[in-house]
Amino acid sequence: MNQTPRRVYLPKNWELPAAILNRLGPEPGRQRLMDEDGHLLLILHQVPQASDDEVRTAALFWRQPDGTWKSTPQPGGLSALEEHLKAYREKIHHLDAMVEKAANPTDYFEVMQEVQPVLRATRHQLEVLQAARQARKDEAALIGLRDSAAVLERAIDLAAGDAKAGMDFSLAKSAQEQSQAAHRSNVEARRLNRLVAFFFPLATLVSFFSMENTGQVLGSPMSWGVVAAGVLFGCFVLVAVTRGKG
């Protein structure tokens, strides 16, 4: 008869029933509850970090049929579960502070990277503790732990909402500032075009009167025609660039 293999994340001295061991894979997997042969096993995740590349570290809590609790990696049973929830609470407070300090889209993006894994983990954790409460209605301590998990889920949901709203506002503000900068650039470009249009005929006149043999040039009808054409063209350019502009 083949012996059920041990999982590396389980303490060697844990005598879980085969019905539970057979449901465990090489990795802890998602957060869930197993209730077999009077044994209750809670598989939770420690506080996730954005840098862990979606690899979660398990925190296991085992209630034996006689009501005794054990836990790993931190010992203490239910007290360890309380500390587990406390770690989530501290993480959420840290994320709230990050949201308050965020000042631009990059800051809010960094917050969102941290918030989303915690939000998912907290929601699934609440589901597990709610199921544990239903499975062991005589375990009064599970009521308070379930309620604490619900408060955490609400808190991280609010933090995620604040971060999302802050990012949206920051992006809208950045877009508005870019639009205003583009408008100022257009205004300056129009001013430059007006200056060019204004000085074009003047440049024509200066060029005309700076020619040698000015008297001969002034006496030629064709020369005056060139001057008139330059002035008219300059006026045309001025009207063209200012039409419809403030």
Whether omega for the bond prior to residue 73 falls within 30 degrees of 0, making it cis, is: yes
Q: Is 36 a residue whose pLDDT tops 90?
A: yes
Give the helix/strand (H/E) hosting 242.
helix 221-242
What number is the average pLDDT over the span 211-225? Answer: 59
- The answer to whether the pTM exceeds 0.75 is no
Rg (CA), the chain: 38
Q: What is the C-alpha to C-alpha distance for residues 171 and 39, in angstroms, rounded to an integer? A: 51
Provide the edge-to-edge strand list for the sheet that holds 39-45: 32-36, 39-45, 58-63, 69-72
* pLDDT winner (highest mean) among 18-22, 54-58, 127-131, 155-159: 127-131
Q: What is the C-alpha to C-alpha distance for residues 121 and 208, in angstroms, rounded to an integer? A: 82
CA dihedral 159, 163, 166, 168 (to 10 degrees): -130
pLDDT at position 1 is 42
